[in-house]
């Protein structure tokens, strides 16, 4: 087929020479691993309907923006991208989906060039919409049509392996992320995610095992991810837990390394941590969101643990896995965070055996209880506290990397050649290029800006 710019997506296009054309599509994802996985699944579905993938936004007749809304900055990025697409490719028709589309569809539909807004509640219908087969879509006006519904009634999960290009510690073409859980039952007072992702739900164990089995034929490492990954299996009628799933994967597939993405602290059970410690095929990498080290602030956040509970889990992980990466998400500037409460949080973080931190500045999300709290922290103070914790994180990370020098660790080599990622989540610059997607034993020799310089000692 040929491509031309004279088309409507829900009709067959006709080029000037009379040949039939099919519009090309391009998907751009914003935000977390779950959004990346949704985007990969969308690409697969659209390709299955016969739509060709464009090489860039500029070359596409359909541009799908798969949005995030976790912060105001994420919303700004989505709106800026819509305007940019209009400038660089004015003939493109824009479909906006994802979390922002679920939260504020009317806001997006008013933007120039936006033809469709499809919430997470209807994301599985996008392929039908693009093929002109959605009964709901056919009844809606052509411009700015909105497809959203009650996200808490959604039971579907879009899932497909995805590769993270350009991300922190990215492993281009070598470490697929597989989303096996979506949604969240928690109601943290600052978080909009349950209202745009819906209830917690999970991919069946049989399907997960089958997907990992297929990936193991190509990849050495697979990362399991979700919105609230530790809740995998915790639904009515299920007796399985995340550790049970891991055992099935280890027993029934040949994957050489599994890595867990973020897991809530109290879901790091003794069983899960012992399994991670005892099994070389599971990466020694614990990422447990903290948000704050202040008891008062955790209560205001409606988090389900206190600093002492969190410390118990992290300290057990360190005892069982002395060289493990231990990371956390931390928020500064939450409403009511006084100087004293911030210092309480900072001191707690300093005392914990963290090897890295993801530090976030609190951002008001419309519709959340925290957004209506009266004791908001000034933006300048939030930013100052962010810098304090980033400096502390850098010190901890450097000390951790220093402790690894001269000792051997397993790592997966990355693409492009010359990089690797250790079992305990340290970025490696190799002293010579090496084929990607291999598990190797290496020895760190010196520190780099963000990682280590190392030599391969066994392949």
Cβ of 244: how many Cβ atoms within 10 Å? 17
Supply the pLDDT for residue 160. Answer: 67
Supply the pLDDT for residue 114. Answer: 94
DSSP-derived secondary structure letter, 154:
-
126-135 exposure pattern, b = at least 16 Cβ within 10 A, e = fewer: bbbbbbeebe
As beta bridge partners, residue 420 has 413, 428
Supply the pLDDT for residue 416. Answer: 84
Question: Do 418 and 453 contact (CB within 8 A), yes or no?
Answer: no
Q: Write down the residue that tokens 């800006």 correspond to.
A: 449
Supply the pLDDT for residue 318. Answer: 98
CA distance 265 to 286: 9
By the 10 Å C-beta count (0-12 exposed, 13-18 middle, 19+ buried), 106 is classed as: exposed
Supply the pLDDT for residue 235. Answer: 82
Write out the E strands in 183-324. 201-202, 221-226, 257-260, 285-287
Q: Edge-to-edge, what's the strand order for the sheet holding 325-332?
A: 285-287, 325-332, 356-361
Cα angle 115-116-121, degrees, rounded to a multiple of 5: 175
Q: Say which CATH superfamily domain 13-152 falls into.
A: Methylthiotransferase, N-terminal domain (3.40.50.12160)
Q: Which residues contact 340 (CB under 8 A, 6 or more apart)?
A: none
Supply the pLDDT for residue 53. Answer: 92
Supply the pLDDT for residue 15. Answer: 45
Q: Write down the residue that tokens 């550790």 correspond to.
A: 243
Supply the pLDDT for residue 164. Answer: 53
Read out DSSP for 383-430?
HHHHHHHHHHHHHHHHHHHHHHTTS-EEEEE-SSTTEEEETTS-EEEE
In 3D space, the residue among 108, 117, 107, 114 whose CA is nearest the CA of residue 137 turns out to be: 117
Q: What are phi and psi of 324, to 5 degrees?
A: -65, 150
Helix axes 242-252, 270-278, angle to 10 degrees: 30
Supply the pLDDT for residue 1. Answer: 28
Question: Do 241 and 269 contact (CB within 8 A), yes or no?
Answer: yes
CA distance between the termini of the chain: 46
Supply the pLDDT for residue 14. Answer: 38
Instruction: Write down the domain spans for the chain.
Output: 13-152, 177-403, 409-458
Between the alpha carbon of residue 322 and those of residues 272, 314, 319, the distances in Å are: 16, 11, 6
pTM for the whole thing?
0.85
CA distance 388 to 452: 24
CA distance 154 to 136: 16
CA distance 82 to 285: 37
Rg, the chain, Cα only: 23
As beta bridge partners, residue 328 has 357
Q: Say which CATH superfamily domain 177-403 falls into.
A: tm_1862 like domain (3.80.30.20)
Supply the pLDDT for residue 339. Answer: 98
The most distant pair of C-alpha atoms in the chain lies apart, rounded to whole Å, by 73
Question: Do 369 and 406 contact (CB within 8 A), yes or no?
Answer: no
CA distance 416 to 46: 29
- Calculate the CA 45 to chain-centre distance: 20
Supply the pLDDT for residue 152. Answer: 84
163 token code pair:
């590769």
Supply the pLDDT for residue 132. Answer: 66
Supply the pLDDT for residue 411. Answer: 97
Mean pLDDT by 10 residues, the chain (459 residues): 35 43 88 84 89 93 94 93 95 94 94 94 88 50 73 79 49 79 93 91 94 95 94 88 98 98 96 98 98 98 97 98 98 98 98 98 92 95 98 98 97 93 97 94 97 95
**Side-chain-facing half-sphere of 91: CA atoms under 13 Å:** 13
């Amino acid at each position: 087929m040929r491509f031309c710019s004279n088309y409507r997506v829900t009709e067959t296009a006709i080029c000037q020479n009379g040949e039939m054309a099919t519009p090309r599509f391009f998907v751009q994802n914003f935000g977390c691993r779950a959004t990346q996985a949704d985007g990969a699944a969308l690409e697969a579905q659209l390709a299955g309907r016969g739509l060709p993938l464009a090489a860039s936004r500029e070359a596409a007749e359909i541009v799908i923006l798969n949005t995030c809304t976790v912060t105001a900055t994420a919303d700004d990025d989505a709106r800026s991208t819509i305007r940019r697409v209009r400038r660089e490719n004015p003939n493109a028709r824009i479909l906006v989906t994802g979390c922002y589309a679920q939260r504020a569809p009317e806001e997006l539909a008013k933007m120039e060039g936006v033809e469709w807004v499809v919430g997470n509640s209807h994301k599985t219908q996008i392929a039908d919409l693009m093929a002109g087969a959605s009964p709901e879509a056919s009844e809606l006006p052509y411009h700015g049509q909105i497809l959203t519904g009650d996200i808490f009634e959604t039971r579907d999960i879009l899932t497909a392996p995805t590769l993270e290009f350009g991300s922190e510690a990215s492993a281009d073409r070598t470490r697929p992320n597989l989303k096996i859980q979506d949604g969240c039952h928690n109601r943290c007072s600052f978080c909009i995610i349950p209202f745009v992702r819906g209830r917690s739900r999970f991919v069946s164990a049989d399907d997960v095992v089958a997907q990992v089995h297929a990936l193991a034929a190509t990849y050495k490492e697979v990362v399991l991810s979700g919105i609230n990954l530790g809740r995998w299996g915790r639904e009515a009628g299920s007796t399985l837990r995340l550790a049970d799933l891991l055992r099935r994967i280890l027993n029934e597939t040949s994957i050489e390394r599994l890595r867990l993405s973020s897991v809530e602290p109290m879901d790091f059970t003794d069983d899960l941590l012992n399994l991670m410690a005892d099994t070389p095929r599971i990466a020694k990498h614990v990422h447990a969101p903290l948000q704050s080290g202040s008891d008062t602030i955790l209560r205001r956040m409606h988090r389900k643990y206190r600093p002492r509970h969190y410390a118990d889990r992290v300290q057990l992980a360190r005892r069982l896995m002395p060289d493990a990466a231990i990371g956390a998400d931390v928020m500064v500037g939450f409403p009511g965070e006084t100087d004293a409460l911030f210092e309480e949080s900072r001191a707690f973080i300093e005392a914990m055996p963290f090897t890295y931190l993801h530090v976030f500045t609190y951002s008001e999300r419309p519709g959340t209880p925290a957004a209506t709290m009266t004791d908001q922290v000034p933006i300048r103070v939030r930013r100052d506290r962010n810098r304090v914790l980033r400096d502390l994180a850098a010190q901890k990370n450097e000390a951790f990397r220093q402790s690894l020098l001269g000792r051997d660790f397993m790592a997966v080599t990355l693409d492009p050649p010359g990089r690797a990622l250790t079992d305990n989540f340290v970025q490696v610059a190799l002293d010579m290029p090496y084929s990607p997607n291999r598990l190797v034993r290496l020895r760190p020799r010196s520190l780099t800006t963000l990682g280590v310089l190392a030599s391969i000692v066994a392949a």
